[in-house]
Amino acid sequence: MRLELERERARIHEALKTLSDQVVAESQRAVRALLSSNVEEALLVREEDKEADVLRYQVENDCVVTIARQQPVGQDARELLAASIVAVELERCGDYAKGVARAARRIVKAGGGVDAADLAKMDALVRSMLERSMQAFLKQDAEAATQVLRDDDVVDQIYDELVQRTLNRMIDAPNTIESNLWLLHAAHCLERIGDRATNIAEQALFVVSGETPVDQN
């Protein structure tokens, strides 16, 4: 029984890792498309996200079937329940990457005129958070998960600064309002990916301790 549970656990871990790699690549591609005004690359994100949707439902189904067959308890049960939640969080990250790609296309259509330097900084940090939160979950590393939670404050700071600069840009150059509104949309999508990364980190903490940061406050 234990050996079978470990096999199922390893299979779910592998699927989650594949899903995580997929959405990290989608986010990177979407931001790259925005920075380079590459409409064709932005369109690829929409197609790639279909694979993420399939993987999400695969993981959810595998978790439900494993729980029903193996009837795990304690940390094993928590991990399988959390894995199904993590799959949803990752799939939503893919949706936000599609939002960034859509913004990239709309900015090109509106004529450009945006300063996306802060967006590149946000992208690098939220992708790092997503990768590290997944490693924390797969390795049940509470310390790494806690660091991801701390980094969310940095994302919020970059986001706030980007919003203020973009609003000022819109005042100074009204002809860029449409483009910059889409830049704000892209930034919001990245900020939400950061939030999803913290949610995954919280699930890692739940697996390890049976508690979330909210429970501990």
**44-55 residue pLDDT tens:** 998 888 888 999
CA distance 97 to 11: 26
Model confidence, pTM: 0.93
Helix H, strand E, coil C: the string for 179-206 is: HHHHHHHHHHHHHHHHHHHHHHHHHHHH
pLDDT band at residue 1 using 50, 70 and 90 as cut-offs = low
Q: Which residue has the higher pLDDT, 145 or 3?
A: 145
pLDDT tens sequence across 67-79: 999 899 999 999 9
**Average pLDDT of the residues in 159-186:** 95
CA atoms within 13 A on the CB side of 175: 3
Whats the size of the chain, residue-wise?
217
pLDDT at 217 over 80: no
**Assign residue 72 a region: left if phi > 0, alpha if psi is -120 to 50, beta otherwise?**
beta
Q: Residue 30: which of 19, 21, 20, 40 has the closest Cα?
A: 40
Contact between 55 and 22 under an 8 Å Cβ cutoff? The reply is yes
pLDDT at 49: 85
Burial label, 168 (beta-carbon count in 10 A; 0-12, 13-18, 19+):
exposed
Over residues 12-61, the pLDDT tens digits come to 999 999 999 999 999 999 999 999 999 999 999 988 888 889 999 999 99
Tell which phi-psi region holds residue 38, choosing left (phi > 0), alpha (psi between -120 and 50) or beta: beta
In CATH terms, the fold of domain 2-211 is: Methane Monooxygenase Hydroxylase; Chain G, domain 1 (1.20.58)
Task: Please report which confidence band the pLDDT of residue 214 belongs to, taking 50, 70 and 90 as the band edges.
Answer: low
